[in-house]
Each structure stands twice: as structure tokens, then as C-alpha cells.
Amino acid sequence: MTRKFFGTDGVRGQANSWPMTAEVALKLGAAAGRHFGADGRNGHRVVIGKDTRLSCYMLENALTAGLTSTGMNVLLLGPVPTPAVGYLTRSMRADVGIMISASHNPATDNGIKFFGPDGFKLSDDAELAIEAMLCDEIPLAPPLEIGRAKRIDDGLGRYVEYAKTTLPRGTRLNGLKVVIDCANGAAYKAAPEVLWELGAEVIPVGVSPNGTNINKDVGSTKPQLAAETVVAHGADIGICLDGDADRVAIIDEHGRVADGDQVMALLASRWAADERLNDGTLVATVMSNLGLERFLQGRGLTLERTAVGDRYVVERMREKGLNLGGEQSGHIVMTDFATTGDGLMAGLQVLLAMADSGQPASALTRQFEPVPQMLRNVRYAAGQVPMEAATVQTAVRDAEARLVGRGRLLIRKSGTEPLVRVMAECEDEGLLSEIVGGLVSEIEAAL
């Protein structure tokens, strides 16, 4: 079945435009309710979290209406990180969890992500089953079996307490000065609270959401302000989250940014030394730097690569019983603690490494020298298929031939935005720039 609504991470789009409309959200809620309440028993539970986008109010109400119309009882968490929804779905014995967020995208976008009762994101089969219902009339509950909805006040507090337990008992962050950038997003309350309660001196950035400023010049995709704040305040480290706090970028005491590859290298080496890294294997995507792969090989560890998307990382981890994975973009998945990427918990693990070793962030977050890598994005309009152009395909074959034995090339469509992503790695930076620039030009010409 061809997907019409679901992408690589739920349903996404521009707010108040198809498919991110109240009408679609209402029907999506009803379809999910019918799917997860298929046994006909009344009283099924749904937890709904959201980030701080203005459109979350509209989508939250529409989803609630759809879910209750099929007999589901809805528990509204308010603004919480995406990983909190995964945790609370399982902790509160809900049948389904829903997060309303477009992650690192601008405030004008939004998305709807689903979690199963085990706290993990839905399988392709479950998403396709829900999508199939959207094209039909969805049976509604009888009048006396309509579901109820209520606000839950302690959901955020539960997550805060749980996040602290991911560190060894008695761990304190006293003496560490931490800049925490919450991207004016879902973690604007939780993240500073966790760090402060653990004893750190906290300097918050991006903690004043107004509905339209999520990810705007702050957060893991725009860490410049946090980096400047680290240097200005003489902080030991900066932790930058994105809008829904499922990814992280780390800033050292000099203001230098470390991506997810460096964080994964640090955690993999520490966990392997403690015999905690299952099967000596880290799972990452095809986007992760070749330098990470070489770093792991030098320590007798293995890198398993997947398609881009944290859901594919998690699927491989669950399939093989592995406990550490992630993406270069900053999704760090630690299934010992969470069912999805958790930027705050990943940041806590870096702080734990600092506390244990006495080393500064600059030493811990530069585990390997990256192979020069270049990524360029080309935006396309609906209906355009630039990768099918003969000139583009010829250019790709030529580029791959030039990189044989010297690097690698990856071209793909984004699963969350209308972008073609062109990424290459090569020790020869001149050749790297030439290849990526030439491919971008060919794709733009095809458009």
C-alpha cells in the first residue's frame, strides 16, 4: 500500500494545510481509536503530549474529539518531550501514546507521532492499518460509551523523576555550570528542573515559548546562541535540545559543537569498557561519519548502519537486542532507559562522563577526527521528481565512480521535508566540494 499520510516519523506538514488540518486530525484520532480499541472494550487509555507550537491546541482538540468518539479515554499531558510520551504510555498502561510535534521544524509546521502500548513508535503495519481506515467511514461508539478526556498534572513530574534515575544512585552534578538550550520547545520546564535538582548551576536558554518561536535561532539545529552563552558565562558545557527534545547537540567549554556521532562514540567506548554495550555493537544510520566507523573498529566494536530515521535505528536495536544507537543529527537511543531518542538523558550521560573522569567536555566530545563530510539540501515542489532525470542519474554514477576507494556518496529524499539531501565524504576536500556542488547544480537544473 502506498503511504498517503504517514512518513518516516508520523504524519507531518504545514499547520492548517493538508494533512495537518483539524479535519484530518479528527479522523486520524478516530482511526487510531478504532485500531487500538478493536476489542470493543470500553475504557481504553490514550496519552497525548505536545510541544509549544500554536497549532498544537487545534490538533490536540481535534485528536481528542476523534479518539473519544470511538470510546477512548484521553489523558492530556500538556507540553512534554517526545520521549516522555513514550515513557508515560508504558508507565500509565495506556493503549496508545500520541505526540504532537514537528520536532526541529519551524513553528509553521506540525506533526503527529504514535506510540504503541510498549512505548515504542508504531510499526509500518500498524501505521498502514490506521491509514487504511482514513479512506472509509469509521464506526463510532454508542452515545453512552463515548470516551472521556482530562488533563494530567503530574505527567511532567513523573518524567523529571525518571530522568534522574538514569544516572547511578547518588550521582551529583555539583560544581558543573551547564547551559541548557530548550529551543523554546517541549522541554522548557523539564530539562532545567532535572539539571538543577541534580545539583548543577543552570543557565537556561530558549525557555520562553510563545507559540511561534520554537526552534527560532535556538536549539540543536541552531546552537550559536548557546555556544556564545557557554563562553560568556564560563560554563563547563552546553546541552542543546530540539523542539521536542528527542535530539541533542553538545557544546564544549570553548563553544565548539559536537554532533550525535561524537556523543555515540563517547557512550559506546564507555559502555564497552564497563561491559554494558550489548554485543559490542552500535547502531547508526548511513549518515554517520566514516570516522565513527573507523573509531569503533579500532576498539574492536561494530557499527551497524540503517536507513535514515530514528525509528529504523530502534527497529534494528530491538531486532538484535542492542542497547545503544542513534543518528548524527543528535537522536541518541539508549533502550536501557528510553524507547526513543532522548536528548536530555543523552546530555546526562555526557555529564556523568565528566563527573566520573574529571575531564572537560572538550576532551570527551572529540573522540575521533571526522572524515570531511559535506551535506547540501535542495528543496523541490510537490509533484517534482528530480532524481528521475537522466542527467541527474548520470551525474550520480559519475560521482560514485570518482569516489571509489576514496569516500562515499549518499543522495536521498528527506522523510520529513520536501528536500533532496546530497551528502558525500572524502579525505580530499577539494574533490568533495566539487562533487557535491556539481550534483546540487544538476538537481537544481532538473527542477
User: Which strands make up the sheet holding 109-115, listed edge to edge?
Assistant: 6-7, 10-14, 109-115, 96-100, 45-50, 73-79, 149-151
**Closest to 123 measured CA to CA, from 230, 43, 6, 224:** 6
Strand partners, 420: 378, 413
Of 139, 141, 122, the residue nearest 72 (C-alpha): 141
CA distances from 141 to 9, 34, 210, 248 (A): 29, 9, 37, 42
- Helix (H) or strand (E) segment spanning residue 115: strand 109-115
For the beta sheet containing 332-334, the strands, ordered from the edge strand earlier in sequence to the opposite edge, are 302-306, 281-285, 324-326, 332-334
Q: How far apart are CA 402 and CA 410, in angstroms?
A: 14
Active-site residue list: 103
SS3 416: coil
What residues does 50 pair with on adjacent strands?
79, 100
User: Which three-class secondary structure state does DSSP give residue 368?
Assistant: coil
Contact present, 171 and 198 (Cβ < 8 Å): yes
Sort 159 into a burial class: Cβ within 10 Å, 0-12 / 13-18 / 19+.
buried
C-alpha cell of 296? 569503533
Find, among 111, 103, 26, the residue nearest to 72 by Cα. Answer: 26
